Amino acid sequence: MEQEIKKLQEQLKKQEKLASLGLLSAGIAHEIQNPLNFVINFSKMSDKLLKDLTEIIEDNEDKIPEEDREDLEDIVSDLKDNLGKIVEHGERAISIIRGILLVSRGKENEFVPTDVCHLVKEYIWLSYHAMRANYKNFNIAIHEQYEEGIPMMMVIPQDLSRAVLNVMNNASYAVWHKSQTASEDYHPEISVSVSTDDGNVIITIGDNGEGMNEETKQRLFENFFTTKPVGHGTGLGMTITRDIIENKHGGKLTFDSKEGEGTTFTFTIPIKK
């Protein structure tokens, strides 16, 4: 009893932190958009200037010594590549920020037309980067497969992203934990897919981590059931996830797991346009 109360208190603290973190990250995301747009726009402008410069060089080719000409061409081409990279990564950052804003803007329990592939992708990588920041030697391969042309569908983005995050965090932990004791030829892998079938969207997240034993499979959805050390799990992730998929979205949450080999979770959600 005492232990349960302690866990509950810890969970409450965590939720308070998460709530303020949500507000904070929405604020930060919003603020970062502006400077990031400057970075992208100035890079694009510089790219245009570089083109002008190239033209001037070409017009004056005969005035530049041969060896200098080659150096100039190399430098211009490197600059062009660098600017391209700045724009590419800047745009990636902008798209992550848009994802965060979209999710934190939606009201609680509000169904919003959503690009599910985009949502899944953003939260898979958000979880990945959070794990990398928190766990030493966290090195995994992520395989992604997104069906093209899935229509925008009505979901509660705040909740669906939470569900993806919960399952991805568990998968990441399972491969990380296994890698701590596995032999060197173990390659931690997580496979993610989003597809449609028969009016449903199907999201799968599979790992080749430590898998679950019989007891864990039985008790997976019990409140506060966890096999993780204190501070690494409260045992509520899967309860919350099942509530989100089954009660809030009218879908089905299933899993398949083999001890020592890995686990796959599947969300099957009816498409509401």
Ligand X SMILES: Nc1ncnc2c1ncn2[C@@H]1O[C@H](COP(=O)(O)OP(=O)(O)OP(=O)(O)O)[C@@H](O)[C@H]1O
Dihedral sign (CA 217, 223, 225, 231): positive
Binding mask 155-174 for ligand X (x = CB under 6 A): -----------x---xx--x
| 228 forms part of the interface with ligand X (CB under 6 A) | yes
99-107, 196-204, 224-232, 243-251 -> range binding ligand X (CB under 6 A): 224-232
Q: Which of 216, 243, 246, 270 binds ligand X (CB under 6 A)?
A: 216
End-to-end alpha-carbon separation of the chain, Å? 45
Amino acid identity, position 34 = N
Q: How far apart are CA 111 and CA 121, in angstroms?
A: 19
Q: How far apart are CA 95 and CA 118, in angstroms?
A: 10
Backbone angles phi, psi at 194, to 5 degrees: -130, 125
15-23, 45-53, 187-195, 232-240 -> range binding ligand X (CB under 6 A): 232-240
Pairing assessment for the beta strands 252-258 and 262-270 based on DSSP bridges:
antiparallel
24-32, 34-42, 120-128, 236-244 -> range binding ligand X (CB under 6 A): 236-244
Number of residues in contact with Mg ion under rule CB under 5 A = 2
* Least Cβ distance, residue 17 to Mg ion (angstroms): 16
Residue 183: is it exposed, middle or buried by C-beta count within 10 angstroms (0-12/13-18/19+)? exposed
* Least Cβ distance, residue 146 to ligand X (angstroms): 21
Amino acid identity, position 46 = S
Q: Which of 100, 156, 201, 212 binds ligand X (CB under 6 A)?
A: 212
153 to 172, contacts with Mg ion by CB under 5 A?
170
Q: Which residues bind Mg ion (CB under 5 A)?
A: 170, 237
